[in-house]
Structure 1
């Protein structure tokens, strides 16, 4: 069924909405697939946009945060793991690494649900960089890499359970197995965009980060660029 269309004056804080673009006459509507959360309404104490000095009524100006894109959720059993859930988990993991003396950042990531095994699980492809070489060629020392191999899966799994309670509940119910992280070579993501442009003939202005892989050729591309053999 067609969802109800709301004007900006109809929305309420705490709810999520899908953005729709339209013409001035409203004859054509385009569902962009972007879902946002209305966090609150602008108030006079905010310094975000100029407001009238006189104490007149301020219109209801909603403030939004990006939630996710439709079709970009990892959702095997209703856990609805969004890109933001993954990003939050990875950022927390990066902080943990630094506290443990491993100066690494996550350059980029992508994922897909591996459903042809039991139990099914998430697979995350990660490209890492060393923090102090952020503007140079990135190389992970053998020592750092060996440490990461023993802890990356469990740490990101732990953080994801904290950022997405639904995922945590599904994991406790043993419907999903623990996620598997695969480290890929430096330059993998940059080359991936080039490959997408060549093989899929996508305009450079239309390229967006691929956080959820659906194309089997794309998935195999990342497997072919993993740093070492890892079960998945």
Structure 2
């Protein structure tokens, strides 16, 4: 995982960005609704647990941890009401904002897109001094009333003038002129959002401060204002017992009955080597494989420093979701069952995490074949295939879709022979024709351009998947999907 970010909570930041105690932070934080495990225990993302405990119950005033967002807005599970209130309060404090952030880069881009879609309503509220009737949660209305104390025509005119322009480059620094940096995670899969963040922020620095997961806090970035490509985290040995499993991306998979690789202590880590992190925690996890692949970049005193490389076996990720090859394969098989009545089948497929839209979404390329007497499936059937794939994906993905952190899954049907052209391209680049296997996820621009140039039709999921029921169950397959936006909006 890339970790969770706790906003500026100490005077140590004076070393990097002076004066942060003189202003506020505009952080777009959200919680998700709790679910129950089969045993009846409550289950929730670590950020939800953190916000409910820390933000709700914090007592002492900290000048480095003053935020514009009301606690009631952060703790509201309705994403629209939460975002609307946080954005409105952020605009009211626009000259006081010194840093802007979210947990993941994708979350901050969602906030910018929200401003693009709703600036007229926000300007109306500022002009009239009243809160939109779309925000119905009493606690949020009470909290916003404390800062929206009356009409502000000057601010409403400013928002209208700036947001009414076709040009949105540098909108962050235009709306919040004193912003010094962005506080977002842009390592790992979030790196795909860096160009878009630079576009909207006018090139503001991006701070990646801490590396953590639901299981444990791992390390700190001792140079938080460095370029995202240079981020390394220093392991904190006091947070747990850490061991390293050597990882060779080119090695063949080990047989099931073979002993596990020898674990390496932190002190024996080799610079340049890749390892999978293994942890033993105070909470009771024993030699737990986190699934993160790290590369040793150096040492701080005796503590190794790591660059996050990727999640092991993860193909697709947009927000906090992680989809591996096995899960994607199962989803394609489940959806392709809807093609049987048409004597059609999926002969090849690959995928791509498309970050060019806000929110980002999964794109799955299908090459179809018709058997004798077959008919081409209607668009509505292929849309249902999109939803069927989403129903088969994990609960984190499905909850992200319902919370609008992830856009509708898209199937792009490509013409026959496209995957042969992909193989020809790979062979021309040096791949062995006898060992070539179609990749289940692609990221190279030439490959994506080749696929997109062969697209016959595009189809989006018409609704959100049900994330209350576990994936791959009969009730999930045939149950009604919840309503949500059915289109993905390009940047």
Identify the TM-score tier after normalising by the shorter chain: 0.5 to 0.7
Distance of 1:96 and 1:229 partners within structure 2: 17
Q: 2:336 aligns with which of 74, 94, 97?
A: 94
Number of the residue aligned with 1:193:
423
Match of 1:202, SS state, is coil
Distance 1:156 1:9, change over 3 A: same
Q: Are residues 1:3 and 2:232 paired?
A: no
Residues 163-211 of structure 1, C-alpha deviations (whole Å, 9 max, x = no match): 322211111111001011110111111121012111x222224423211
Structure with greater contact order relative to length (CA < 8 Å, sep ≥ 6):
1
Given that 1:104 and 1:129 are in contact with CA atoms closer than 8 Å, whether structure 2 keeps it comes out as yes
Q: Tell me the CA shift for residue 115 of structure 1.
A: 0.6
How far apart are the structure 2 equivalents of 1:214 and 1:184? Answer: 17
Partner Cα distance (2:393, 2:355) in 1: 22
Show the counterpart of 1:125. Answer: 365
How far 1:93 moved relative to its partner? 1.6
The residue number in structure 1 matching 2:327 is 85
The 1-side partners of 2:400 and 2:394 are apart by 10
- C-alpha displacement of 1:127: 0.1
Distance in 1, Cα, partners of 2:331 & 2:313:
20
Q: Mark the CA change 1:229 to 1:81 in structure 2 (over 3 Å): closer, same or farther.
A: closer
Partners in 2 of 1:102 and 1:73 — Cα distance? 30
- Structure 2 partner of 1:108: 348
2-side partners of 1:194 and 1:212: how far apart? 17
Helix, strand or coil for the counterpart of 2:452? helix
2:315 is aligned to 73
Gaps of 5+ in 2: 1-234, 236-242, 247-253, 262-272, 277-310, 461-487
2:440 paired residue number: 211
Are the counterparts in 1 of residues 365 and 412 from structure 2 also a CA contact under 8 Å? yes
- Alignment counterpart, residue 183 of structure 1, candidates 389, 409, 413: 413
Computing the radius of gyration from Cα coordinates, the structure with the larger value is 2
- Aligned mates of 1:160, 1:226 — CA distance in 2: 21
SS in 2 for 1:214: coil
**Alpha-carbon shift at residue 75 of structure 1 (Å):** 1.3
Q: CA deviation at 1:3?
A: 2.0
1: distance between equivalents of 2:407 and 2:450?
23
Deviation, structure 1 residue 156: 2.7
Give the TM-score taking structure 2 as reference length.
Answer: 0.31
Give the secondary-structure state (helix, strand or coil) at the position aligned to 1:108.
Answer: strand
TM-score, length-normalised on structure 1?
0.61
Q: Paired residue for 2:393, among 113, 138, 163?
A: 163
Provide the secondary structure at the position in 2 that maps to 1:73: strand
Post-superposition shift, 1:229?
A: 6.6
Measure the CA separation in 2 of the matches of 1:153 and 1:220: 23
